Chains A and B, each alone.
Chain A
Amino acid sequence: MSKNALLINFQYCSGCHSCEIACRNHLGIGPDKWGIKLTQVEPFEAHEDDWEWDYIPVPTKLCNQCQDLVKAGEKPACVRHCQAFCMEYGTVEEMAVRADKLGAKTAIFLS
């Protein structure tokens, strides 16, 4: 039986926090809890004039992958509201194929 997974193409995650709030809205939690939390690799110069700076949202143990939405044919709340459209959802196998295509700065989370 395939597991489901969340893919984040964090090359494009702009750190907008929309996923955090969309998730809280759906789960009815917060402001002291998160179903997905934005983390940051703070900026530094990796090479001359070449900056490393990443935002990466990470699902927590409160993430239930919005199964109620998914069963109704809709996207998980975070995926739908992501302003950069950098999040995808599907089986682990499907997401692995996507990650291979998207390349560097892609993460797959199971929860």
Chain B
Amino acid sequence: MKIPEGEYKVGTDEDYYVRSGVWSAPGCHGSGCGVILHVKDGKMIGIEGDEKNPITKGRLCARCLDMVEYQNHPDRILYPMKRNPADRGKDRWERISWDEAYDLIEENTKKVREKSGTNNAVLTLGGTGREATMFYPVISFADFQSANVAAPISGDSCYGPRCMVANYLFGSGYPEIDSAMFFPDSYDDPRYERPEYIIVWGSNPLVSNPAGYFGHQIVDLMKRGTKLIVVDPQVTWMGSRAEYRLCLRPGTDAALALGMLNVIIEEDIYDHGFVENWCFGLDELAERVKEYTPEEVEKITWVPADQIRAAARAFATAGGTGRNCSIFMGVAMEMQIDAISDIQAVLYLMAITGNIDVPGGNILGPRASFTGRWRYDQIKWVDPNDVAHRIGWEKVPMERSALSNVQSDSILPELELPDDERTVRMIWFNSCNALVCMPAEPQRWIESCLKMDFNVVQDLFMTPTAMALCDLFLPVATFPEHDGVVQVHYGRHTPYLAAEIKACEYGETKSDLQVAFELGKRMNPEAWKDWDSLEKFMDDQIAPTGLTFDELRHKGLHHQENFHYKKYELGELRDDGQPGFDTVTGMIELYSLQFEAWDEDPLPFHTPSPYSSEANPEYAEKYPLVLTTGGRKYSQFHSEWHQIKSLRQIDPWPVMTINPETAEKYNITEGDWVEVFNHLGTCRLKAHLALTIRPGMVHSTHGWWFPEQDGEAPNYFGAFKSNINTLLPNGTIGRLFTGAPYKSMMCDVRRVKGLDQD
């Protein structure tokens, strides 16, 4: 179906096609993928890729392609429901109206505020990948006027730390690889030059499409000649196509990056011009990396010294081609104990090779823009005294928080306080299936959340979290069911905006923005007084583009105008318009003055993972297998899509990947059910034998629950049967309260008869 330029809808009132850009719901990182939706008699019956989209050019992932099944699934919840708190864990939901839902919210908020004597009695929890990410802070700050908001992942080990460290060292937003996303003509723009090498560090972007980066753009670049260096404990498909595979020990990324910095500095193959003019602290960094020789780093990381040398040289010299290189960073960089050092060292690889803001390099922009900035400004609605006494305030200074959220590991200690000492009495689960995804030690979460007076959940299907804990269920609109703005990288690196366009209406679902807006109009109308409609709000949000939302709707996708490379030369990175970077020194800080001011080490260094043979040989004797977790799959988005037949068929069971040599020692064969365990918990998985994982290490999938099982207590859709988070510790975190060993734990394994049989 072809939709004319400047239009977004064709057909009759009963049978029409709508061109839209995708974000959420369902959960997705939102690249604004171009789709054409077919709606007939009010029902969505078809989806196909929009070839006019400059990024996706007609292609779609398996999840978008399965959207018709999702959209029309009989188990989707389309109306608000309430349940008596005494019936938590029972399938005793009663349909209500939105008015009654909002009444209940107001009533219960009032009660918990009175009981605790503060607005902080309400805790809002967000997840990832839904446009909710833009609005859950707003629900907390503007609507509930509570300082207690979080995306409850231990060590806040997702995305935020990369933004925080880039902020301090580069003074900028997120440094993403250049794949011509700023150009309407894409790779054909005369200004664009593809990178010679991309280091894909701790990410599987073809599968995960993280933070709004459409992963297969990297395949586009490979076909144009770009070579890969892949840093991953396992050999991935990208790794099989890479020039260099650095299969490191989980949790040793800082050491590897320091080893590469050692080679580049000692062999004098860094970009002298860029470093001398635009970087501060090379001498100090050079001194620090001296001890991280490739031979020393091999001992720490298990990556051979000659591989470290070869990869570092290739990246620094671009194979002598004169092209630039870039680094694609992933969440594995945060999911280790010293996320700060790891991220810092990788950013320094970009900096000392001069690959900053150049064609094919890592592109910089403002720290936050559009709704990305506005959402955090809303903290102005919270009483300063409440901000000062938010969860974890005794230990965590506000300015060290990556996202103005409370520090995630401080939440359990608060929730576990006795009733008369606790502040939080109500939890709003905005976009977080907390019992199966995100928090470590979910077995403690379910117990403590059950003590709350009132819990609300926003979701699309019944989940373990909703069934176990919540008293009010608010149905979320899918992306075909609401208007919205797609902001790549949540405003921290936004080459373009796209319009999600409402194509149909199902039941009484509402988008995350709509709920934030309506709730706000009731609870704190002052915060929303400038807007009498959602469209007016969206108009304002995108005003810097010069477009209204309706104009964006017609246009589909709008590129940021006036993009330049080397913005640091043009004065476009600093508020005062001067050349340079928005840091204390005006330069990229290879030695961080901000960290020094906080009495932290201004330079990166290696810290052994706390649960490793290096740091804890006794523990390693008891639980001898290195455990890494959470490799992404095409068939799921975290804990979502499990009930969708076509996708469940691709990955029907939670899997443990194990090397055949190790499997043999444990008498495990392909397809056997196994139980991995450590001192914290157990998790049942199906064994898959693979040569791509080294002996002595296992990988477990994450986010697993079983929608086809009994949802009532105590089974909760099997939420605790294959839940790898039960083996992960709360509160084992790194410097600046950042980083946690999600991907570098230890465990042992035994064969069992089945998911439910020993």
Contact = CB atoms under 8 A, between A and B. Distances in A.
Interface of A: 11-12, 14-18, 20-22, 24-25, 30-31, 42-45, 49, 51-53, 55, 75, 77, 80-86
21 contacts: A12-B222, A14-B206, A16-B62, A17-B650, A18-B62, A20-B62, A25-B46, A25-B65, A25-B68, A43-B235, A43-B691, A43-B692, A51-B240, A80-B48, A81-B58, A81-B59, A83-B59, A83-B219, A85-B59, A85-B223, A86-B219
A15 B62 CA distance: 11
Contacts of B206: 14, 16, 83
Contacts of B646: 21, 24, 30-31
A21 B648 CA distance: 12
Given A80-B48, A84-B216, A85-B220, A18 B649 contact: no
Contact of A83 (B61, B241, B245, B645): B61
B51 interface: yes
Contacts of B126: none
B711 to A, nearest CB: 23
Interface in B38-67: 46-49, 51, 57-62, 65-66
B231 to A, nearest CB: 15
Contacts of A53: 235, 237, 240, 692
A45 B61 contact: no
B49 A81 contact: yes
A98 B61 CA distance: 26
Contact of B65 (A11, A14, A21, A51): A21
10 cross-chain pairs, A with B, having the tightest CB-CB distances, nearest first: A21-B65, A53-B240, A51-B240, A83-B216, A17-B62, A84-B219, A31-B645, A83-B59, A14-B206, A80-B58
B239 interface: yes
Interface in B536-569: none
B393 interface: no
Nearest to B51: A80
Contacts of B58: 75, 80-81
Nearest to B635: A17
Max count, chain B CB within 10 A of own CB: residue among A12, A31, A81, A83: A83
Contact of B48 (A15, A81, A84): A81
Nearest to A15: B237
Nearest to B49: A81
A31 B644 CA distance: 10
Contacts of B65: 18, 21-22, 25, 81
B178 to A, nearest CB: 19
A17 B634 contact: yes
A18 B60 contact: yes
A83 B634 CA distance: 12
Contacts of B240: 43, 51-53
A16 B48 contact: no
Nearest to A44: B691
Contacts of A52: 240
Interface in B708-727: none
Max count, chain A CB within 10 A of own CB: residue among B62, B245, B649: B62
Contacts of A43: 235, 240, 690-692
Interface string B664-695: 00000000000000000000000000111000
A53 B238 CA distance: 10
A51 B241 CA distance: 8
A20 B66 CA distance: 10
Interface in B189-220: 206-207, 215-216, 219-220
Given A81-B65, A84-B219, A18 B59 contact: yes
A83 to B, nearest CB: 4
Nearest to B209: A83
B239 A16 contact: no
B592 to A, nearest CB: 36
A67 to B, nearest CB: 17
A20 to B, nearest CB: 8
A20 B649 CA distance: 12
A46 to B, nearest CB: 10
B186 to A, nearest CB: 12
A68 B203 CA distance: 39
Contacts of A80: 48-49, 51, 58-59
Contacts of B49: 80-81
Nearest to B62: A17
A49 B240 CA distance: 9
A44 B206 CA distance: 21
Contacts of A42: 690
A17 B80 CA distance: 35
Contacts of A25: 46-48, 65, 68
A12 B68 contact: no
Nearest to A26: B48
Contacts of A24: 646
A86 B216 CA distance: 11
Max count, chain B CB within 10 A of own CB: residue among A21, A42, A49, A80: A21
A30 to B, nearest CB: 6
Given A17-B62, A17-B635, A81-B65, A12 B48 contact: no
B649 A21 contact: no
Nearest to B219: A84
Max count, chain A CB within 10 A of own CB: residue among B49, B62, B65: B65
Interface in B407-442: none
A49 B237 CA distance: 14
Given A80-B58, A83-B59, A85-B59, A14 B66 contact: no
A45 B60 contact: no
A11 B237 CA distance: 11
A81 B60 contact: yes
Nearest to A38: B650
Given A31-B646, A84-B219, 6 more contacts: A12-B222, A16-B62, A25-B68, A51-B235, A53-B692, A81-B48
B691 A18 contact: no
Nearest to B207: A16
Nearest to A46: B240
B222 A18 contact: no
Nearest to B215: A83
B61 A16 contact: yes
Contacts of B62: 16-18, 20-21
Contact of A14 (B219, B645, B691): B219
Contacts of A22: 48, 60, 65
Contacts of A18: 59-62, 65
Nearest to A21: B65
A6 B240 CA distance: 25
A82 B51 CA distance: 12
A38 to B, nearest CB: 9
Contacts of B237: 14-15, 53, 55
B649 A31 contact: yes
Nearest to A83: B216
A87 to B, nearest CB: 10
A12 B66 contact: no
Contacts of B216: 14, 16, 83-85
A53 B206 CA distance: 16
A16 B634 contact: yes
Contacts of B60: 18, 22, 81, 83
Contacts of B61: 16, 18, 83
Contacts of B59: 18, 80-83, 85
A16 B650 CA distance: 10
A97 B699 CA distance: 43
A80 B47 CA distance: 12
A111 B646 CA distance: 24
B204 to A, nearest CB: 10
Nearest to A25: B65
